[in-house]
Structure 1
């Protein structure tokens, strides 16, 4: 009888994302994966590219970074809510990952709206934007419904499945497609797609879905930094940049190409190209 490692790893990542503050010990997660403790950690690391401790820490700190700029909660409360016994331990882990203390990160995040307003007044550019024409592309992956900043849960499940199937050499990058307008659709109902770029001849794995990226003209914004800042980047792209560009957005969803991942880069070094589909030029 063959072992379905995809389903087992999917359960582990689901447990971490459903309760980031949980203990998630090796014994507990081995039980979730229905693997012996002796073999579980080696299998998990080999198939996902990160240890269990790294996965738990990454998810906890990503959620904490979002909470820091979106809430007024004291650091001690945020620490407990994200699996840390006290503010000191949380601060050490956060600084190691983000290069800033939680307080400094919160202050910088709160200052970004004023930065956006200043750049708008001065006519500057917050992020580099270029106009490009792309070819149609094929994605395979998993749909996700919920706040866009939580799509990482779907990407973790997808990465585990791609690893278990040995398909990484046949992929050409990870892409997130965002199908709804977050200003018009409730956060819990937002639809998105976590995918990898693949060739046309790759068979669709069981349990995954296919998504097509339409080719054509796009504005490509080179976003750099923690994912928690993307919301403001989109506001600038759809507001100041679009108004000054003379371009019109096409009736197609934005998508993001991830040039690296939180597993391989520090948050301040994360590189994401955001593609906004544009109407054809009439010059």
Structure 2
């Protein structure tokens, strides 16, 4: 087995443990139970997990629970107190403190911001040719796929760092994600990095300020609150995430991400066929 195959096997086995956490974030996940899922010795599992994911098991569990809370806050119910209890916090104060650290705002302020409705513009983008690495594993480990792409590209000049998503991350197998980069100098495809061509078209664009963990909730809010009243409908191109800065040199609360949903005028397809 060559080094690339060995690394892929490590990632696949650790992904089994992460998937178990995502599937049941409130379960009593122990190092022994997760090590068994990943087929590693419990004595070495945590170091392997940390090396592959870049965080501890406890940090993953905490992050997944709080990410789940952001999705619940998109809706008007349940209450903030109940959401905190569902996330495993014994008191509203403890939940509010942890959530503020995670999302840069209190749960109530986060919910109010979502309910106020996102600021959206419409932009027509040209065709895009993206060097991309397909994500393998649950959505919670997307950051690690982005990190792998940076390592694979090395010192190659990058015009834009992107995420490309097809489907809903809540629907498991129907969700496909690529970490992508628009390069100043094209590179030949490799066994890992391939070239994706995205057709030109119209996008609904919202700029999110805050941690990447808010992206899922922000996109859900766009679909739930903006799209039904907009006069537009989704088109069959990927949702794009354009990362304007980087957590390597920017505070989490100051991260900016352009979220771009491909759209067309409502009923345009029927009109074209008439």
TM-score by length of 1: 0.65
Q: Which residue among 152, 164, 188 is the counterpart of 1:170?
A: 152
In structure 2, how many angstroms separate the alpha carbons of the residues matched to 1:254 and 1:96? 31
Residues 76 and 54 of structure 1, relative CA distance in 2, 3 Å threshold: same
**TM-score scaled to structure 2, two decimals?**
0.67
Report how far residue 92 of structure 1 moved: 1.8
Q: Secondary structure at the match of 1:257?
A: strand
Matched residue of 1:221: which SS? strand
Q: 1:196 maps to which residue? A: 179
Aligned to 1:109: 114
Structure 2 residues not aligned, in runs of 5+: 182-186, 266-274
Helix, strand or coil at the partner of 2:61 = helix
**Per-residue deviation at 1:94?**
0.8
Gapped regions of structure 1 (runs ≥ 5): 117-125, 144-152, 181-186, 244-248
Partner of 2:220: 231
Match of 2:104 in 1: 99
Which of 123, 136, 140 in structure 1 is aligned with 2:129? 136
Count of aligned positions: 240
Alpha-carbon distance in 2 for matches of 1:49, 1:156: 12
Shift of 1:278: 7.1
State the distance in 2 between where 1:28 and 1:261 align: 34
**Matched residue of 1:29: which SS?**
helix
Task: Kindly report which structure 2 residues correspond to 1:1-283, keeping only aligned pairs within 5 A, or say none.
Answer: 4-110=9-115, 112-113=116-117, 126-127=119-120, 129-137=122-130, 139-142=132-135, 154-157=138-141, 168-170=150-152, 173-179=161-167, 188=171, 191-197=174-180, 200-204=188-192, 212-219=196-203, 221-225=205-209, 226-227=214-215, 228-234=217-223, 236=226, 240=230, 252-259=236-243, 266=252, 269-274=255-260, 276=262
Segment of structure 1 superposing worse, 193-202 or 43-52: 193-202
Aligned partners of 1:19, 1:261: CA distance in 2, in Å? 30
Aligned Cα root-mean-square deviation (Å): 4.0
Q: Choose 227-236 or 259-268, whichever is displaced more.
A: 259-268
